[in-house]
Amino acid sequence: MNTDAVHRYVDTLARLLELAGVGIILIGVVFATAWFIQQGLRKRDWRVAYDNYRSNLGRGILLGLELLVGADIISTITAPLTFESVGLLAAIVGIRTFLSFSLETEIEGCWPWDRTRKDSVRSRGGQSRASQ
């Protein structure tokens, strides 16, 4: 198999991974919205339903972003490496990583380095400051 064929194959895989990431985000939006409406109508507690909606929506976006970052990294294999292409990749990965970090912090309700403490407080039956 020659180099061009390998590059085309890897580029196709990266595009499929991008489509999967976008698909997961869209599916996450649809399921989170359906769950929100169902929870709100059944329990009539829209505040709790809204909090769950935000968490579920964030999880779908977070998973899709992870796949999109992976696709960007894979696609650099097929692109000619120039300072511009590497800089563009670094910017895209940086922005998506920041979004992932922000979403995860929002979903968990605490900083990643406080998660162990929050989980230990929760397992003892108490509440952490982040969940109050």
pLDDT tops 90 at residue 26: yes
Q: How far is CA 121 from CA 111, 128, 130, in A?
A: 15, 6, 11
- Pick the more confident residue, 47 or 31: 31
Mean pLDDT on 78-91: 82
Convert the pLDDT of each residue in 115-129 to its tens digit. 777 666 666 665 544
Convert the pLDDT of each residue in 37-82 to its tens digit. 888 888 888 888 888 898 899 889 989 988 998 888 888 777 777 8
pTM of the model as a whole: 0.70
Spatial distance between the Cα atoms of 104 and 59, rounded to a whole number of angstroms: 8
